[in-house]
Amino acid sequence: MNEPEIHTTDYEAALREAGVRITRPRRVILGILADMGDHPDAMEIFQRAVAIDSGISLSTVYRTMKLLEGIGAIHRHAFAGGPSRFEPAVGEHHDHLIDIDTGDVIEFQSDKIEELQNEIAHRLGYEIVHHRFEIYGRKRKKR
């Protein structure tokens, strides 16, 4: 009964800790977050939520995402010209490669980057809070 998986209850615990109420809409959204493998935007999360409980409003999705972002449970990614996309802040930090033709988001992880950011921030007299490394690329066609 202690799988290394993420469950709604983990988020609930985090929320309780943050001193907020576990309401019906929040439980639904938490459930969606728990098993999303992609990086949906607020509207997409809203649609999934409505499919589960038609009474949920888009405002609540936005409010909940902001709340979760505030307690560090999710990360927000801002893309130029589009809505923010979210992903659970769970496990190892990773970065993204965005396919500029298809919009696909590929995750990758590199210890060197983690090192590098520390080195650079230190050199500039800063303490890192977080970083973002995104590569925008196009699939290399095999020939």
Partner DNA sequence: ATGCAGTTGCAAATGATTTGCAACTGCATT
Partner DNA sequence: AATGCAGTTGCAAATCATTTGCAACTGCAT
Q: Which residues are annotated as a binding site for Fe cation?
A: 93, 95, 114, 131
Asked if 27 interacts with a copy of itself (CB under 8 A), we say no
Query: What's the CA gap between 65 and 45, in Å, rounded?
Result: 10
Radius of gyration of the chain from Cα atoms?
A: 17
Closest CA to 78 of 109, 46, 107, 41: 41
Min dist. Cβ of residue 72 to DNA (A): 16
DSSP 56-74: --HHHHHHHHHHHHHTTSE
Q: How many other C-beta atoms are found inside a 10 Å radius of the C-beta of residue 27?
A: 16
Asked if 113 interacts with a copy of itself (CB under 8 A), we say yes
Asked if 140 interacts with a copy of itself (CB under 8 A), we say yes
Stretch that binds a copy of itself, among 17-25, 32-40, 46-54, 71-79 (CB under 8 A): 71-79
Stretch that binds a copy of itself, among 12-20, 26-34, 38-46, 120-128 (CB under 8 A): 120-128
Encoding tokens for residue 52?
Answer: 């589960």
Asked if 93 interacts with DNA (CB under 7 A), we say no
Q: How far from chain centre, in Å, is Cα 45?
A: 12
Asked if 9 interacts with DNA (CB under 7 A), we say no
Encoding tokens for residue 78?
Answer: 């801002």
Encoding tokens for residue 39?
Answer: 């990086």
Min dist. Cβ of residue 64 to a copy of itself (A): 16
Which positions lie near a copy of itself, rule CB under 8 A?
Answer: 76-81, 84, 97, 99-100, 106, 108, 110, 112-113, 116-117, 120-140
Which positions lie near DNA, rule CB under 7 A?
Answer: 16, 19-26, 41-43, 55-60, 62-64, 66, 81-84
